[in-house]
A = this chain, B = another copy of it.
Amino acid sequence: MKVLTFGELLLRLSAPGFEKLFQSDNLKTTFCGGEANVAVSLANLGVESCFVTKLPNSDIGHCAAHSLDYFNVDTSNIVYGNGRMGLYYLEKGASQRPSKIIYDRKHSSFSMARKSDFNWDNLFEDVDWFHWTGITPALSNNVLQLIIEACVKAKEKGIIISCDLNYRKKLWSPENAQKVMKQLLKYVDVCIGNEEDAQFALGINSNSNVEKAEIDISSYESIARKIEIEYCCKYVAFTLRESYSASRNGWSGILYHQGKTYISKKYDIQLVDRVGGGDSFSAGLIYGLINHCGDQESIEIATAASCLKQTIEGDFNRSSIEDVMQLVKGNGNGRVQR
């Protein structure tokens, strides 16, 4: 089974430790991006993955691709051309101080990519699963057209399509998001998101109060059902984050399939780096479904994988499937193995 993900690869520039941006004179670098994160996670779990994007034809673009080669993600279909490297600045929060993200991704090579850059017939050869996120269509109309074309083509070829709704308010308004996502979700077999995503990207409200960290399972269940009915998604999964502070979160997952709801264990996480948590959830879920692990086991894997990610620096989940299964089966008490 081979998974192809398509999206933007970004340079992340983050203040070291818990410093404010430019408090000292250096920034930590990682390359990242929702779909690339999923491809890396999958490769580390042992699933063959391929990442497609467009990058600037410069040392930066090539280093960006190498950062995926490192994990054996197939980058041979990446296109190089004009435009800049999209990037974002990250200031990691602590305790009551929230993390801050400043995007600087406009005019990137990817956002200006054109139809002629990608031959989907070739790209989808031997591919079994296609994953994208709601960030991609938010970037530009160019990219929106590409994602539509990809979805149509994938559907034709019987490729399974998963989508992480991933609503970003700094990229588009709820109105614009809904106009696009409602149309695109028709192609999607596996829909992944959080409560906010459902509300902003699909206009489906619930009674839970995200800010207050209260979680109401039945509310999620009803949202999932609406998505299943309206868009014919086979699976709907949510990450449930309870934000006690910027340093500590509750984390669990929920999977809805054929009228049944499967709820994972809940982890109380002392956060190392929460960015990329959702992406490794997607990867864990895809792993579970591809490997026919069963619905309960799949949501456990997704949740454990994404729990581990949040204890690891950077956007990429460097956990192996052995690491994940140890947490799924164990108790997360963190005893040293020696």
The closest CB in chain B to the CB of A334 belongs to B246
Which of A16-24, A200-208, A255-263, A294-302 is found at the contact surface with chain B? A16-24
**A26 and B27 in contact, given A332-B245, A335-B243 (Cβ under 8 angstroms):** yes
B18 contacts A29, C-beta separation under 8 Å: no
The interface bits of chain A over 246-258 (1 if a CB of B lies within 8 angstroms of the residue's CB, else 0) are 1110000000000
Bound Cα distance A170, B70 (Å): 29
Query: With a CB–CB cut-off of 8 A, which chain B residues contact A275?
Result: 336
B311 contacts A94, C-beta separation under 8 Å: yes
Query: With a CB–CB cut-off of 8 A, which chain B residues contact A274?
Result: 336
Query: With a CB–CB cut-off of 8 A, which chain B residues contact A71?
Result: 66, 69
Tell me which residues from 18 to 72 in chain A have a Cβ below 8 Å from any Cβ of chain B.
Answer: 18-30, 58-60, 63, 66-67, 69-72
- Tell whether A308 is near chain B: CB-to-CB under 8 Å: yes
The closest CB in chain B to the CB of A333 belongs to B243
Query: Chain A: interface residue count, which band?
Result: 35 or more
Which of A99-107, A122-130, A179-187, A228-236 is found at the contact surface with chain B? A99-107
Bound Cα distance A314, B26 (Å): 12
Would you give the shortest CB distance from A19 to chain B, in whole angstroms? 5
The closest CB in chain B to the CB of A326 belongs to B98
- Tell whether A330 is near chain B: CB-to-CB under 8 Å: yes
- Please pick, from B28, B66, B72, B333, the residue contacting A25 in the complex, using a CB distance under 8 A: B28
- Please pick, from B17, B95, B96, B336, the residue contacting A93 in the complex, using a CB distance under 8 A: B336
A27 contacts B24, C-beta separation under 8 Å: no
- Please pick, from B18, B72, B100, B314, the residue contacting A59 in the complex, using a CB distance under 8 A: B100
Tell me which residues from 292 to 316 in chain A have a Cβ below 8 Å from any Cβ of chain B.
Answer: 304, 307-308, 310-314
- Tell whether A213 is near chain B: CB-to-CB under 8 Å: yes
- Tell whether A148 is near chain B: CB-to-CB under 8 Å: no
Bound Cα distance A91, B98 (Å): 26
B94 contacts A245, C-beta separation under 8 Å: no
Which of A155-163, A218-226, A264-272 is found at the contact surface with chain B? A264-272
B25 contacts A24, C-beta separation under 8 Å: yes
The closest CB in chain B to the CB of A330 belongs to B211
Query: With a CB–CB cut-off of 8 A, which chain B residues contact A16?
Result: 26
The closest CB in chain B to the CB of A242 belongs to B333
A interface list, Cβ under 8 A from B: 13, 16-30, 58-60, 63, 66-67, 69-72, 84-85, 89, 91, 93-104, 106-107, 168-170, 210-213, 243-248, 267-272, 274-275, 304, 307-308, 310-314, 318-319, 323, 326-327, 330-338
Given A85-B104, A95-B334, 12 additional A-B pairs, CB 8 A? A20-B318, A22-B59, A22-B67, A26-B26, A95-B332, A96-B308, A96-B311, A97-B327, A99-B337, A243-B335, A244-B333, A246-B334
- Interface pairs (9), CB distance under 8 Å: A18-B272, A21-B59, A22-B29, A23-B313, A69-B70, A70-B70, A98-B326, A210-B335, A212-B331
